[in-house]
Amino acid sequence: MVVNQGKVIAIRGSVVDVLFPDSLPKPHSLLIAGASNRLALEVMTYLSSEIVRTIALTPTQGLARGSTVNDTDRPLQVPVGEALLGRMFNVFGKTIDGQKQLTASQWRSLHAAPIPLCDRTTTTDIFLTGIKAIDILAPLEKGGKAGLFGGAGVGKTVLITELINNVVSRYEGVSIFCGIGERSREGEELYREMKDAGVLNNTVMVFGQMNESPGVRFRVGHAALTMAEYFRDELHKDVLLTIDNIFRFIQAGSEVSGLMGQLPSRVGYQPTLASELAELEERICNTTSGSITSIQAVYVPADDFTDPAAVHTFSHLSASIVLSRKRVSEGLYPAIDPLQSDSKMLSSQIVGDRHYKIAQAVRQTLANYEDLKDIIAMLGLEELAQSERQIVYRARRLERFLTQPFFTTEQFTGLEGKMVNLEDALDGCDRILNDEFSDRPEQSLYMIGSVGEIK
């Protein structure tokens, strides 16, 4: 077999220009170079009839002008199948969990077209998580995309691990965790936690870590999605795809774009931000045989929700769960902001009249309390009318009832984790709104599951 060979003519950081005098490689082809072919390059664009511009997926130390580059004549691929369960992979499909390498029989390209609209299901089902604040105020869609928005240190990763724990124990599906630009420490901790929780056997983990090249961080999301699509299409399973953090995917795209010499767009982001994000997001959907439900952590730079990365991500989501630093400071965990969090599923046609009315009443009560906070700060609670004081008492009890002890934080809180079914959560909110617990201290509703646990 004749290998198409080229020569390196320029290296700028992670960008390598290669001359192919005979024939150009295909778009997205994987090229290998360096001693013992350890360096991987992906074709990104064509500069002329003989020169391609590539992005390095491995460090470029040791590569020099004139180095020989071989075209593999195939795109980047990852293994697929049930053998992946319980293992941790990198973007090349190699295991990184310290155990023996996997010998998978099937490999698939990272690049695939989204499922055509005619092959998708048009029915809408609710994806229950067992977390009160989410199931009542921002219910997730089965086969939809939900975003966890928040700045640094407000609990995105903790909430994602709890969702994985709850979903694997409730649904007989597969969970795929994709770490984009995560710290190596977090990946190692998550692996151990999932092993201890007994959910690792139904989980595949894929990491493109913070210390790796932007090309790896840019492609690792596609690698996880390729594995998820196989479970959905070939094995007909429901898949939970958790991505932590989708902002790092956008950031990696921005780095690649800058290295490629493209002119930046607004706030310094890549001009192709919208299309790159859509390329990834539109592959996540429901089919008649299975579904991929995605929960994505979204870091919000400087807590600014008008940042282009946050705005473009919002447009793809069916539910937005916003985490609030203010609630963290008040010790209300999970720190979900009930007024900013929202879901397209929260309509009476989908969730039913009772759920819709209770959710709206909870939101209205908390919004009224928010309006009264300035008056309370200036004049004190005593200056409010009796009806307004009732709103404050109800709102404070609702805030505490919407907290919940997590299974994944038992070692820190000393509280046993709770999973609450939707009916119990709605019943609790309804009874608080009807002042059933006005004679109980508000602290008795803090960090409990259903209202039956009130001491």
Q: How far apart are alpha carbons 320 and 327 in whole angstroms?
A: 17
- 156 annotated active-site: yes
* Catalytic (active site) residue 183: yes
User: What is the C-alpha to C-alpha distance for residues 27 and 278, in angstroms, rounded to an integer?
Assistant: 19
Query: Of these residues, 53, 87, 145, 156, which one is catalytic?
Result: 156
Specify whether the CB–CB gap between 269 and 308 falls below 8 A: yes
This prediction's pTM: 0.88
What's the mean pLDDT in 233-251? 92
Contact 20, 52 (CB under 8 A): yes
Residue-wise pLDDT for 248-292, tens only, equals: 999 999 999 998 888 898 888 999 999 999 999 999 998 888 889
d(CA 208, CA 57): 10
- Distance in angstroms (rounded) separating the CA atoms of residues 426 and 401: 11
Q: How far apart are CA 167 and CA 84, in angstroms?
A: 19
Task: Please name every residue paired with 191 in a beta bridge, in sequence order, or none if there are none.
Answer: none
Write out the two tokens for 295.
């929960």
pLDDT tens digits, residue range 302-340?
888 899 999 999 899 999 999 999 999 999 999 999 999
Tokens of 201: 């056997």
Q: What is the pLDDT of residue 1?
A: 57
pLDDT digits 0-9 by tens, 377-434: 888 888 889 999 999 999 999 999 999 999 888 888 889 999 999 999 999 999 999 9
* Length in residues, the chain: 455
pLDDT at 219 over 70: yes
182-187 mean pLDDT: 84
Catalytic residue among 26, 183, 192, 354: 183
With a pLDDT cut of 90, the percent of the chain lying above it is: 67
Closest of 207, 293, 298 to residue 245, by C-alpha: 298
Q: Closest Cα partner for 365 from 315, 401, 411?
A: 401
Residue 158: what pLDDT?
86
Of 75-79, 91-95, 223-227, 380-384, the poorest mean pLDDT is in 380-384
Largest CA distance in the chain: 87
End-to-end Cα, the chain, rounded Å: 76
Name the catalytic one among 42, 141, 162, 182: 182
